[in-house]
Structure 1
């Protein structure tokens, strides 16, 4: 955790800088925004854990992260690869029975890395999921899609382009990746994540459990039950607090500071942000993280890494830069809606802070 700020020196990032993001969440929403910059951290909390207005949210309140879960799954993959348990280039054909493999050009050559970079060619959702989702569409659209149906859906999938040739965002692919990693370890996804990522990084508020205390989510002003995704927890089951997520981002900013020398997790923290080859004009490909820009300290045009997420009751954003060391976390207990500005406001704060000359010292250059 960052050292306490000198009380005689104003914080480098006053909480007033965070207020536009909180306002973008909406007056009735709970929101927590946390920033790390220039060696200081600042947090702004607004609202209550539910709309009875009895318990204020804090930086320890747990929010559903939705697709930000994919970054945890990617880190888990990179950690297991660093240990030699799996390989990034390992094809599905080495892990799944032939009868369960998808059809189409190159389908047997889909690798674990393809799943983590959304280049597998798999569709956004498993075939058949929408049919089961309709009865609970506004509450928990994934709850009736059970784990035993995952490989059955995979066998009924046709890959539309060669693996690695095109980016196509896929909850299916990320969920399948989490399933395969848990199967390899012989434990549930949440337990595997706890052992390899959460406990080593000191993320005490973070888990993949829907039964632990958390804020109440809202969709169009109505309270929603906790989000459940039994077949694909690696795509969207994680909950966390602003305090934990700021620590998570700081571990990604400076892996050497937060992990043991030579540890697989240190290697994994670097690996998830390593850019992969991409098609001309395509996005920078990392393991789950979106990357924009190039590190250029002279012009303050740093590389930014970020991911957003949403469930039927929550919206979340995490972003960071290594040079300079900047992180922004934004959480609210309202589901994403068309034209809302919460994620955009959080990204704008990250972009602005990372380009301000002198906002903070950069850590040692990242390896690779």
Structure 2
């Protein structure tokens, strides 16, 4: 285990540092003010294997969506696209989307496009690999076919409906607008400026994922990379979250305005007391905000969250999915709440007096 450099942070994080059943390792990273902590446990796979470090790469699943949203915000700030641009303007040649009302880029980034959660027919076509790699056979041609056949489930802008297909489509549209492959565009505009050297969609090197204790192959999502293809590390993700905490403090950063735009509440969530920014789920307490997103693949679970007012951020990564993922995400969210509530010597009291609200994990991964 790596010992945290801040003993107060160490005390808040340690209860979370227990490797869930079926996993071999996990990594945590946190920031509170100007203090950082990294805690790790276990190994990258079963049998004799390298230990987990803050630089071990994990699949982060749907947390990728926050990177896609930041790319959208950057391109909007540059004037290359607009949030209210219709999807039709940037569809690749030969692609079309059946729609009665215009779907915009912002609709895709806020899950209000009316598109379903999964692509048309994915459950049937992916059934043979459902517990290992359900998206591996769903490529660009399948996206094109799905869009031409699918019907919107609701009027664009009228209802929140979490959609992997929607954010995956957003990645294609941004790439088309910039005339560059999505992965190259994301690296140039987001990953490189934020110095996220170990974050990419490359599947090696990385820890081995597990499903109920059994090793899983590396996750592949060739048709919808913008929705869940990234791998990252605890160190890179903490750097990524730190950039969101005070973007106005670094106006020279090319992403300063975009980092502000993604956190602005845009959509009221149903049956909840929160909002959605551009991909980020957003809750407000009496004196601070919490923004967060989770992600799972068939072998990994990830959580990333931050509170700008308290200058707090948390990353938690583990190499298992399946039944333990909801509990791990809930515990991670509760830990973020505890970190944001810390006020020096009152940390323990605050943690007890401010019970965490349960995050509805169904809608953020």
TM (norm. structure 2) is: 0.88
1:130 equivalent in alignment to 2:123: yes
Checking the alignment, whether the CA contact within 8 Å between 1:224 and 1:312 is kept in structure 2 is yes
Q: Is the 8 A contact 2:22 2:214 kept in 1?
A: no
- In structure 2, what is the equivalent of residue 341 of structure 1? 327
1:286 aligns to 2:277 (yes or no): yes
| Paired residue secondary structure (2:193) | helix
* Equivalent residue, structure 1, for 2:261: 271
Aligned-pair Cα RMSD in Å: 2.2
The answer for unaligned runs of 5 or more in structure 1 is: 1-6, 297-301, 361-368
- Aligned equivalent of 2:306: 320
Q: Distance in 2 between matches of 1:36 and 1:216?
A: 27
Question: In 1, are the aligned partners of 2:20 and 2:324 still within 8 Å (CA)?
Answer: no
Q: 1:38 to 1:359 in 2, by over 3 A?
A: farther
For residues 192 and 359 of structure 1, the distance between their equivalents in structure 2, rounded to whole angstroms, comes to: 45
**Contact 2:23 2:318 (C-alpha < 8 Å) held by counterparts:** no
Where do residues 23-172 of structure 1 align in structure 2 (5 Å cutoff)? Answer: 23=18, 25-26=20-21, 28-96=23-91, 100-106=95-101, 109-172=102-165
Aligned residues: 342
What whole-Å deviation, never above 9, does each CA across 1:94-121 have from its counterpart, x for those lacking one?
Answer: 2237974433542xx1100000000000
- Aligned to 1:20, the other structure's residue is in SS state helix
Contact 1:206/1:239 (<8 A) preserved:
yes
| Distance in 2 separating the partners of 1:93 and 1:224 | 37
Q: For residue 201 of structure 2, what is the aligned residue in structure 1?
A: 208
2:315 alignment partner, one of 308, 325, 329: 329
- Deviation of 1:85 after TM superposition, in Å, equals 1.0
Contact 2:87 2:173 in 1 (8 A): no
Q: Kindly tell me: are residues 97 and 203 of structure 1, through their superposed partners in 2, closer, same or farther at Cα, counting changes over 3 Å?
A: closer
Quick one: distance in 1 between partners of 2:311 and 2:295?
A: 23
1:255 CA displacement:
1.2
Q: How far 1:26 moved relative to its partner?
A: 3.5
Q: Closer, same or farther in 2 for the Cα pair 1:217/1:58, shift >3 Å?
A: same
> 1:45/1:339 Cα in 2 relative to 1: closer, same or farther (>3 Å)?
closer
TM value normalised by structure 1: 0.87
- Shift in Å at residue 347 of structure 1? 0.6
